[in-house]
Chain A
Amino acid sequence: MRDPGRPGDSPREILLHLPDGQDFSRALEALDRQLSGADPMDVVVDIGTRKLSTRELLRLEEAISRHGSRLLRVTESPSRKGGSTLRIVGSSGSRHREVVEEESQRPSEDFERTLLHKGVLRAGQMIKYGGNVVILGDVNPGAEVIAGGDVVVVGTVRGLIHAGARGNSAAIVVALRLDPVQLRIGRHFSRRPEDGPTEEGGPEMAWVQDGRIVVEEYRSDVRRR
């Protein structure tokens, strides 16, 4: 029996999309390419608003089993226009939360969505989200947060943060303590200084000023910048 609480017993689970509006055969080819060469997996297919005929369903199942994987289930999702879908992909037991970016008509809307993560984000764990990300816990070395919007960490940042990941240089990173290996905001990039972290203090904030990432004490007048 499969026991989803324990890693390794079950193959990796993956979620694939059949984009709306695409010809079924073409969508199936794309799915075929995604699976080729991959280890056997349990596949969840999100068919969006599409309606599948029995024949199409059988073709879908066949295409997946050809790669040694199996179709676990098919899910529908209502119109995702302008939004992003959160997918949680299990990878050898660790938790990856990833957002599949849809072509968005109004990208600014994405930044207003926020994902809350409770707990320490540990080495090998990653959060990838189109909107803002709030973490109640530390971001440890080897962990990554990639957000389309702002990143707020109620804890210490020692891993990698990329805020405004789709080129939004107005994004900010706020943390109780900022000691990241690497910090990226929009297309800007900074490394941890070789002389080590700053002295203990209050919450810190990173933002882009004159084309460079600066880290300073957090002030509540964030919006005026």
Chain B
Amino acid sequence: MGTALVVTSGKGGVGKTMVTANLGVALAELGKLVAMVDMDVGLRNLDIIMGLENRIVYDLNDVIDGQCKLQQALIMDKRFDNLYLLPAAQTRDKSSITSRQMRELCAELKDRFDFVLLDCPAGIEHGFTVSVAGADEAIVVTTPELNAVRDADRVIGLLEAAGHRNPYLIINRVRPRLVRRNQSLRVQEVVDILAVGLLGVIPEDERVVASMNLGEPVVLYGGEVAHAFRDIARRMLGEEVPMLPVEEGRGVLGALRRMMGIG
């Protein structure tokens, strides 16, 4: 029996889909059988950044409506045979799926997969509710910006009300230069406000955008972002992995602190 995790944020554009794709790849690299479900019905994206757009025949709605079997709608990744995508319907809207249908689908997915990653739509309306309904655990993604943190806080409150007492937190797009100039919230400040467990910190990197446009998750490129995602995947498997000192940036001091394990 696998675990279903919803990747959510409240605010749009903080990197939910990017996190879902790269976590999927990182978990698959570790040999886990992973399904990624695009819950953004009507505004699907995950297929594009996975580079699987042209393979879609059936989608989430077809499965739920009984138009096809789950097996037929799951698309195997080009790079990993243990990573699958269940795409969202592009021509339907979010009201086409109920929480109960989602719970049933997730139960079926968890029977077959180690991890089911649900890429939640932005917002806190029906699409959010339905995504959360199917999940056992939640990952909240935010960036170190006040407005994103505010929305993350709201979402954590809603998750708590839905019975997810201990969501995980991923802070995305941390910019060491702004932190050093006191122009950005620090990781610790974000954690203090949100008061939930930190799963990982991901630095800002142009290659993330490039990789999304190329349909190749950035984990496959290597570098610090890839490192961060691989660490997160290992933490999800229960390993104790120290946080990357992302805020230090590169440079001598950063490297030194890294060696000493501060971060």
Contacts and interface: CB of A to CB of B under 8 A. Distances in A.
Given A120-B195, A138-B195, A140-B153, A92 B158 contact: yes
Query: 5 shortest A-B CB distances, which residue pairs?
Result: A8-B129, A122-B157, A123-B154, A123-B153, A93-B161
A6 B162 contact: yes
B184 interface: no
Nearest to A142: B150
Nearest to B193: A140
Contact of B130 (A8, A137, A156): A8
B146 interface: yes
B153 A122 contact: yes
A182 interface: no
B107 to A, nearest CB: 15
Contacts of B3: none
A156 B194 CA distance: 12
A108 interface: no
B163 A6 contact: yes
Contacts, number: 68
A93 B129 contact: yes
21 contacts: A5-B163, A7-B129, A7-B162, A8-B126, A8-B128, A8-B129, A9-B99, A9-B133, A93-B129, A93-B162, A94-B161, A122-B154, A122-B156, A123-B150, A123-B157, A124-B157, A137-B195, A138-B195, A141-B146, A141-B153, A142-B150
B154 A142 contact: yes
B48 interface: no
A203 B87 CA distance: 52
B129 A6 contact: yes
Interface size class of A (residues with CB under 8 A): 20 to 34
Contacts of A8: 99, 126, 128-130, 133
A9 B133 CA distance: 9
B145 interface: no
Given A9-B99, A141-B193, 18 more contacts: A5-B162, A5-B163, A7-B162, A9-B100, A90-B161, A92-B125, A94-B161, A95-B157, A120-B195, A122-B153, A122-B154, A122-B157, A122-B160, A123-B151, A124-B153, A137-B195, A141-B149, A141-B150
Contact of A93 (B100, B158, B192, B193): B158
A158 interface: yes
Given A7-B162, A92-B124, A138 B99 contact: no
Nearest to A158: B193
Residue in B146, B157, B195 with the greatest tally of chain A CB atoms within 10 Å: B157
Interface in B121-138: 124-126, 128-130, 132-133
B97 to A, nearest CB: 12
Among B126, B150, B153, max chain A CB count under 10 A is at B153
Interface string A73-95: 00000000000000000101111
A8 to B, nearest CB: 3
Contacts of B100: 9
A49 interface: no
A140 B156 CA distance: 12
Interface string A107-144: 00000000000011011110000000000011011100
A5 B129 CA distance: 12
B153 to A, nearest CB: 4
A90 B157 CA distance: 12
Contacts of A90: 161
A156 B189 CA distance: 12
B135 to A, nearest CB: 11
Interface string B55-73: 0000000000000000000
A121 B156 CA distance: 10
Contacts of B130: 8
Nearest to A9: B99
A89 B130 CA distance: 21
Interface string A1-15: 000011111000000
B161 A7 contact: yes
B125 to A, nearest CB: 8
Contacts of B192: 156
A95 B126 contact: no
Q: Which of A6, A90, A92, A122 has the most CB of B within 10 A?
A: A122
